[in-house]
A and B are shown apart, each in its own frame.
Chain A
Amino acid sequence: AQSVTQLDSHVSVSEGTPVLLRCNYSSSYSPSLFWYVQHPNKGLQLLLKYTSAATLVKGINGFEAEFKKSETSFHLTKPSAHMSDAAEYFCASTSGTYKYIFGTGTRLKVLA
């Protein structure tokens, strides 16, 4: 069965330090994987997507993620956190069907 697990519900980093948000997936088929960000009272915004091309995917606002099939992971990283990065981040997967499966979200806090 298809599933997405975000390993941390909350992550705190200091401004200017690296960000790592972890996502593992489970899928019987080759998945498409996505990261979305949600700011308060807003919808979700697509950060980046992996659809079986390059395994290192670059997205908007300096974020990137690496698809690692052997580890079934798709972790989101950013070299240097900015205050404006504080938000909730969702990993999502779709494979075989049209249905998206979202993870439970990781709330990123950026400390000044």
Chain B
Amino acid sequence: KAGVTQTPRYLIKTRGQQVTLSCSPISGHRSVSWYQQTPGQGLQFLFEYFSETQRNKGNFPGRFSGRQFSNSRSEMNVSTLELGDSALYLCASSWGESGRHYGYTFGSGTRLTVV
């Protein structure tokens, strides 16, 4: 079966712009989480959604937002981009309400470069 699909794979944006990243979870998975991965900070939790509801949010500024649709697909948006937002953004999906019991299946990520 298809894995977690993230689009686009690579993105180059200019400071001050905004960006939307997309994630399609594995069919049947209703929990979707987002992580930012950078060499300096490692993997940092952004948000988690279940059935269109945000269940948890990490310590990121309000420029970072997300949503989940009725088909479980999810998007995250970053407004007013800063150089420090350059990172690999990973989406993960899971059975049940969270990855706590079943673990996550991760997508290959979107590599965002802000110039």
Residues of chain A at the chain B interface (Cβ within 8 Å): 32, 34, 36, 41-46, 49, 51, 90, 94, 97-105
Contact = CB atoms under 8 A, between A and B. Distances in A.
Interface of B: 4, 33, 35, 42-43, 45, 48, 55-56, 58, 90, 92, 97-109
A97 B48 CA distance: 11
A104 B103 CA distance: 18
Contact of B99 (A41, A43, A100): A100
Given A34-B103, A90-B43, A102-B42, 18 more contacts: A32-B101, A41-B108, A43-B4, A43-B90, A43-B92, A43-B106, A43-B108, A44-B90, A51-B100, A51-B101, A94-B99, A97-B56, A98-B98, A98-B100, A99-B48, A100-B45, A100-B99, A105-B43
Nearest to A105: B42
B42 A104 contact: yes
A45 B100 contact: no
A97 B98 CA distance: 9
B48 A46 contact: no
A90 B45 CA distance: 14
A100 B104 CA distance: 10
